[in-house]
Amino acid sequence: MQVSASAPSPVYRVRVAVPVYLYDCFDYSLSIEQYQQAQIGARVAVSFGRQNLIGVITDKLAPDAPLDPSIKLKAITELLDDQAILDSKVLSLLTWASQYYQFPIGEVIQSALPALLRQGKPYNLLARTWKLLDADAESKIKRSERQQEAYKVLKLHPSGTAENLLNLAGVETATLKALEKKGICECVLDAQDFSPMPVSMAQMPLTANPDQKKAIEAILKARKKYQAFLLDGLTGSGKTEVYLQVMQEVLKQGKQVLVLVPEIGLTPQTISRFQSRFHCNIALLHSGLNDSKRLQAWQAAQTGKASIILGTRSAIFTPLPNLGLIVLDEEHDLSFKQQEGFRYHARDIALYRGHLEQCPVVLGSATPSIDSYALVQNGKMSCLELNQRAGSALMPKIHILDLKIAQKQHGISQMLLDEMKKRLDKKEQVLVFLNRRGYAPVLICESCAWQAKCPHCDANFTVHRTPYQHLHCHHCGTIHRMPDHCPQCNHSELKPIGMGTAKVEDSLNELFPAYDVIRVDRDSTSRVGSWQKIYDKIQKSEPAILLGTQMLAKGHHFPYVTLVAILDIDSGLLSVDFRATERTAQLVVQVSGRAGRGERKGDVYLQTLRPEHPLLNTLVQEDYRQFAKQTLKERQAALMPPFRYAALIRCESKDQTLNKDFLQQQAQLLRQNSENMVDIWGPIPAPMERKAGRYQSHMVLLSADRARLHFYIRHWWLNMLHQKPSSMKLTLDIDPQELS
Ligand code: ADP
Ligand code: ZN
Ligand code: ZN
């Protein structure tokens, strides 16, 4: 029979987002049966160029939709899920995020999937067990070494082995499937239980104080719609109690609660505060999990089995069928912003998601970001204040010590050392804060002033003494052996200058031999379980010195600390980044907030070479809110974010002139095409011009009109990617948090 030209035969197609750095989705064909089965939000295996990739279906095309004859359609390789694993709300969230941050949709969608699903593993992987059927099959698999290996492993476990364990042992699923075809083994599916566990109270709530009560009532009033709240409460004012009591009501309605915390805030202490209040399934989602645990937690969230989802940044993209509340604690924390690849801010995504899902979003902090205060000012967010410390604790007092005139031992003011001794002798704990790990930030020759510098960066090497003496570049990771003489003048006295936590640890051990010094930084907590050990020590009412970097500053509750010593924040007072003072103020207030959270009042001593700095004076004489007010005014006067919207272009190559010329030419193009709506700064060399052997240049774009800014950038950016030399790396950072 002849097919008439007017009735073309239908072509079954799906549109697929594939994980490649390209801004489009791609169409693939499939059979009618597959088409009927295919769901938007399900995974497919496809071939792309010469790669085999796992993509997600974003659309099913109508069979009679027009077909571009110039494009050769490929067929999908396999449908991997018979149901959507990303629901339509999460897909719209991801699509929006991809457009807002101008990052390829395929990559954005991938970032929402746990690693095992990203790799194409079956959704029910954790319920799949492989069992041997034929224990006498050697002769059938003589030709395949892989099958022989798999067969041997299966034979060791006659009752069956979980597929993910087999995969870990190097046995691939494809090999098992080949054995299954030959009748040698079979795959058994255990039933996975995704039914939610009923929620009940494990512990009675505390009696809320008037501020807490007001906050709880305001949030609960908005329970069934979108409203954003800033819970602006002093350190120790009981913000967590507010979250818990609001959660209680939301959970009672059978809804899920998503709680986001900063990366290093997800400690056993935080987890146990939620666990000890509610009996329910809590899914933990953070980067420390292995792939199976992560899949398990993600599935508990995605099926509705988990009622509370407690996670770090990327948990904001978890599909949640019953979302009723989003809480983002320590909302000012920089770890909510992803600083590489898909550079999203979980706080902004949370606000959009609340809007999409029609549920309240609560951002909490003792030191809210200036961005959030601006949203309050514009009426886009309601501010709820907690003005007193909960229970009987009082706010600590900050004292400034002028290092220029102070008597010192080991770089620490004598007066501060005397205060420390007093507290320790009274069996109290002291927290010493220094945001610099390692032994010393500089190694210098005493004779000719040569300094040990990283050969690949514009930066000094940091001296480390453990586990052995070495030099380490904290910017590119280069490690060098410790020189025993000066390479410039051959002098043999090389001196470490300045202090890092490891050096202060030595000094404190020498100055206070009778007391324990507990160091907390990335070097000392890298081992699994070390946090737990540190906590156990801190929670005992015994005198001790806690010494650490900003890991110590985050939301922790140390009931026996009555004195906080801040050794050096001067670099934060000098930085050129317009957000540097905001970050420094947050750090000072957060670290200070660790003092006096128990029954005794706390004091904070801050030693500095710049005691006259206005930031310090505002914090001492007034408070963080006053500082924030002033900063908002300054930003408004200078037309800086959040009063204008920003985007940062980072350009990196081995040739700084190439960077500069390229950016200049691009700036020119943007100027011509953006009707004076975009203010362009730069190109300028990055604050650290050379990093890991490559030169970095920046260009900042600012505009009062966000929609217009994004509109211009969209076209210009794609063009720019096409035109750039292949040796150059370009990144676009929408709403950048750091200009470095
Ligand atoms: P924040 O999160 O604001 O820093 P926390 O929630 O950690 O403060 O509370 C600090 C301490 O105060 C905790 O020990 C907490 O149990 C206690 N607390 C909170 N609310 C109350 C309350 N209403 N009555 C008594 N104690 C409270
Ligand atoms: Zn020298
Ligand atoms: Zn380096």
Q: Tell me: the pLDDT tens digits for 6-46?
A: 566 788 999 999 999 988 999 999 999 999 999 999 999 99
pLDDT at 203: 86
Residue type, 98: S
Do 154 and 223 lie in one domain? The reply is no
Find which of 91-95, 495-499, 558-562, 618-622 is predicted with most confidence, using mean pLDDT: 91-95
Angle 240-245-251 (CA atoms, 0-180°, nearest 5)? 115
List the one residue out of 454, 457, 441 whose CA is nearest residue 689: 457
Q: For the segment 244-259, what is each residue's pLDDT rounded down to a tens digit?
A: 999 999 999 999 999 9
- Of residues 157 and 443, the one with the higher pLDDT is 443
Q: Which residues span the domain enclosing 314?
A: 200-386
Q: Is the pLDDT of residue 526 over 80?
A: no
Q: Which two tokens stand for residue 210?
A: 């008037």
Asked if the structure places residue 474 within a domain, the reply is no
Tell whether residue 280 is among the known ligand binding residues.
no
Least confidently predicted of 87-91, 124-128, 664-668: 124-128
Among the bound ligands, name the one nearest to the CA of residue 487.
2
Q: Is the pLDDT of residue 445 over 90?
A: yes
Which ligand 1 atom sits nearest the alpha carbon of residue 559?
Answer: 14
Asked if the structure places residue 485 within a domain, the reply is no
Distance 446 CA to ligand 2 centre (A): 7
Indicate the pLDDT class of residue 337, thresholds 50, 70 and 90: very high
Q: Which two tokens stand for residue 182?
A: 């030959």
Q: Whose CA is nearest to atom 20 of ligand 1?
A: 238
Arithmetic mean of pLDDT, 100-117: 96
Do 256 and 357 lie in one domain? The reply is yes
Whole-number average pLDDT of the chain: 91
* Helices 370-377/624-638 angle, 10° precision: 80
Q: For the segment 260-316, what is each residue's pLDDT rounded down to a tens digit?
A: 999 877 777 888 899 999 999 999 998 888 898 999 999 999 999 999 999 999 999
Distance 79 CA to ligand 2 centre (A): 66
Distance 492 CA to ligand 3 centre (A): 24
Q: Is the pLDDT of residue 4 over 60?
A: no
List the one residue out of 400, 397, 399, 398 whose CA is nearest residue 610: 400
Which ligand 1 atom sits nearest the alpha carbon of residue 329?
Answer: 2
pLDDT at 143: 87
List the one residue out of 263, 303, 300 whose CA is nearest residue 281: 300
Asked if the structure places residue 418 within a domain, the reply is yes
Question: Whole-angstrom Cα distance, residue 654 to residue 729?
Answer: 10
Q: Is the pLDDT of residue 192 over 90?
A: no
Indicate the pLDDT class of residue 571, thresholds 50, 70 and 90: confident
Asked if the structure places residue 457 within a domain, the reply is no
Q: Which two tokens stand for residue 517?
A: 């010094």
Indicate the pLDDT class of residue 565, thresholds 50, 70 and 90: very high
Tell whether residue 473 is among the known ligand binding residues.
yes
Least confidently predicted of 138-142, 360-364, 451-455, 543-547: 138-142
Distance 352 CA to ligand 1 centre (A): 29
Asked if the structure places residue 450 within a domain, the reply is no
Do 234 and 367 lie in one domain? The reply is yes
Do 19 and 36 lie in one domain? The reply is yes
Distance 274 CA to ligand 1 centre (A): 13
Do 424 and 556 lie in one domain? The reply is yes
Asked if the structure places residue 640 within a domain, the reply is no
pLDDT at 732: 96
Do 296 and 147 lie in one domain? The reply is no
Among the bound ligands, name the one nearest to the CA of residue 483.
2
DSSP string covering 304-326 = T--SEEEE-GGGGG---TTEEEE
pLDDT at 353: 98
Please give the share of the chain, as a percent, with pLDDT higher than 90.
Answer: 70
Arithmetic mean of pLDDT, 442-452: 93
Look at residues 165, 190, 215 and tell me which one is the last residue of a structural domain: 190
Among the bound ligands, name the one nearest to the CA of residue 458.
3
Do 427 and 567 lie in one domain? The reply is yes
Q: Is the pLDDT of residue 2 over 70?
A: no
Peptide bond into 441 cis (omega under 30): no
Which ligand 1 atom sits nearest the alpha carbon of residue 240?
Answer: 6
Among the bound ligands, name the one nearest to the CA of residue 447.
2
Tell whether residue 445 is among the known ligand binding residues.
yes
Do 559 and 536 lie in one domain? The reply is yes
Indicate the pLDDT class of residue 529, thresholds 50, 70 and 90: low
Q: Which helix (H) or strand (E) holds 401?
A: strand 397-402
Do 143 and 206 lie in one domain? The reply is no
pLDDT at 36: 96
CATH number where 703 lies: 3.30.70.360
Asked if the structure places residue 483 within a domain, the reply is no
Q: For the segment 354-400, what is each residue's pLDDT rounded down to a tens digit?
A: 999 999 999 999 999 999 999 999 999 999 999 988 777 778 889 99
Do 34 and 80 lie in one domain? The reply is yes
Residue type, 114: P
Q: Which residues line ligand 1 (CB under 6 A)?
A: 206-209, 212, 233, 235-241, 390-391, 557
Q: Is the pLDDT of residue 460 over 90?
A: yes
Q: Whose CA is nearest to atom 5 of ligand 1?
A: 238
When divided into structural domains, the chain yields a total of 5
Distance 682 CA to ligand 2 centre (A): 38
pTM above 0.95, yes or no: no
Tell whether residue 486 is among the known ligand binding residues.
yes
List the one residue out of 432, 383, 380, 381 whose CA is nearest residue 410: 432
Mutate to test the pocket of ligand 1, among 213, 240, 328, 538 (most ligand atoms within 8 A of CB): 240
pLDDT at 461: 95
pLDDT at 198: 81
Q: Is the pLDDT of residue 84 over 70?
A: yes
pLDDT at 675: 83
Q: Whose CA is nearest to atom 9 of ligand 1?
A: 238
Which ligand 1 atom sits nearest the alpha carbon of residue 207?
Answer: 23
Least confidently predicted of 160-164, 212-216, 552-556: 552-556
Arithmetic mean of pLDDT, 108-131: 92
Do 333 and 185 lie in one domain? The reply is no
Distance 563 CA to ligand 3 centre (A): 36
Question: Whole-angstrom Cα distance, residue 46 to residue 375?
Answer: 44
Indicate the pLDDT class of residue 157, thresholds 50, 70 and 90: confident
What's the Cα-to-Cα distance from 57 to each of 61, 101, 379, 480, 517, rounded to whole Å?
11, 21, 38, 48, 55
Do 269 and 183 lie in one domain? The reply is no
Nearby residues of 535 by Cβ (< 8 Å), 6 or more positions away: 267, 268, 269
pLDDT at 511: 96
Look at residues 65, 98, 118 and tell me which one is the last residue of a structural domain: 118
Tell whether residue 651 is among the known ligand binding residues.
no
Tell whether residue 187 is among the known ligand binding residues.
no
Q: Is the pLDDT of residue 349 over 60?
A: yes
Look at residues 118, 137, 172 and tell me which one is the last residue of a structural domain: 118
Asked if the structure places residue 727 within a domain, the reply is yes
CATH number where 266 lies: 3.40.50.300
Q: Are 389 and 239 in contact (CB under 8 A)?
A: no
Q: Which two tokens stand for residue 404?
A: 């220029």
Please give the share of the chain, as a percent, with pLDDT higher than 70.
Answer: 98
